[in-house]
Amino acid sequence: MSAPIPFGPYELLERIAEGGMAEVWRARSRGVAGFEKTVVIKRVLPTLLERPGFAELLVREAKIASRLSHPNIIQIFDLGEEEGGYFIAMEYLRGRDLAAALSYRAAGEPPLGLALRLWIGAEVAKALDYAHRAQGDDGKPLQIVHRDVSPQNVLLGYEGEVKVADFGIARADEPGLGRGEDPKILRGKYAYMSPEQARGERLDRRSDLFSFGVLLYELATRRRMFRGRSSDETLRLVRRGELPDFRKHLPLPDLEPILQRALEVNAADRFASAGE
């Protein structure tokens, strides 16, 4: 392992991931009397520091996620500035994301069983229900929409934790937190968008519930709901709400009415909340 890289009050230990906007590091925070804490540092890619839109999204993520304190949501510790750009310090969870867990094939390691997969879905629903009900300091609903509910953003800890992560494209109904943002700017993974998100329409919590339905179907069947031959074809399928006949793949008949309602193309026909 390479030597730690000094980074303000932290030390960067290992780069965990890199996306189109940011990179994520396992890091260490040091304090008095030998205090140490392992955290995750997320920062805008150095090549994008001159583009203010990316920094604004990172700041928005920190401000929204810092309002949330729930055992099924990754906790935000700090928003800081170092080396000419903003960074977020957040909770470190030893484990892997759900996408990796669903496809992981280690020698001698059994796949995730159906009961465990459905329990994971229930834990994700708890996180979304809490986030959707969150209120600001004035007691008014924040109307948070995650907009990127997907297996890659569900983290599974080795001690049994399930946590929703990455509010990087989330929006809330407050100035500076996405209010007034043009919904036609598509952000997120096409295969997990709601039809209205894919069409660039205004969103509310029910968009996340459609995305959760897609995730729940994948948890139940280990199959993708939307899989076009290209990303553009996948987007077209989602926009039109062209669902496959998912009933024939369901392992439990009790899942059918839940998925049927969560995956309604018309948002008004879906569940009103994840708590339902």
Q: Which residue has the tokens 């994700």?
A: 124
DSSP-assigned beta bridge partners for residue 81: 86
* pLDDT > 70 fraction of the chain, expressed in percent and rounded: 96
Environment class of 232 (CB within 10 Å of its CB; exposed 0-12, middle 13-18, buried 19+): exposed
Q: Answer yes or no: is pLDDT of 67 > 90.
A: yes
Dist CA 123 CA 129 (whole Å)? 10
Helix/strand/coil for 46? helix
Dist CA 89 CA 140 (whole Å)? 27
Confidence bin at 106 (pLDDT 50/70/90): low
Structural tokens at position 232: 């553009």
Based on its alpha-carbon atoms, the radius of gyration of the chain, rounded to whole angstroms, reads 19
pLDDT digits (tens, 9 = 90+) for 44-60: 887 777 776 778 889 99
State the span(s) of the chain assigned CATH 1.10.510.10.
95-269
Task: Check if 148 is active-site.
Answer: yes
Report how many helices (DSSP H) and strands (DSSP E) the chain contains, helices first. 7, 9
pLDDT, position 181: 85
pLDDT, position 107: 53
Dist CA 127 CA 144 (whole Å)? 12
Nearest to 15 by CA among 40, 37, 48: 40
CATH among 3.40.50.1450, 1.10.10.10, 1.10.510.10, 3.30.450.40 for 95-269: 1.10.510.10
DSSP-assigned beta bridge partners for residue 79: 88
Q: How does DSSP assign 107-123, residue by residue?
A: TTPPPPPHHHHHHHHHH
Which residues, 6 or more positions from 1, have their beta carbon under 8 angstroms from its beta carbon? 13, 14
State the span(s) of the chain assigned CATH 3.30.200.20.
5-91
- For the question of whether the overall pTM of this predicted structure is more than 0.95, the answer is no
Is residue 95 a contact partner of residue 158, using CB atoms and an 8 Å limit?
A: yes
> What CATH code is assigned to 5-91?
3.30.200.20
Is residue 181 a contact partner of residue 171, using CB atoms and an 8 Å limit?
A: yes
Structural tokens at position 22: 């940011």
Confidence bin at 108 (pLDDT 50/70/90): low
**Element holding 87 (H helix, E strand):** strand 85-91
Tell me the mean pLDDT in the region 67-93: 95
Of the residues 97, 148, 166, 208, which is catalytic?
Answer: 148
Dist CA 177 CA 56 (whole Å)? 9
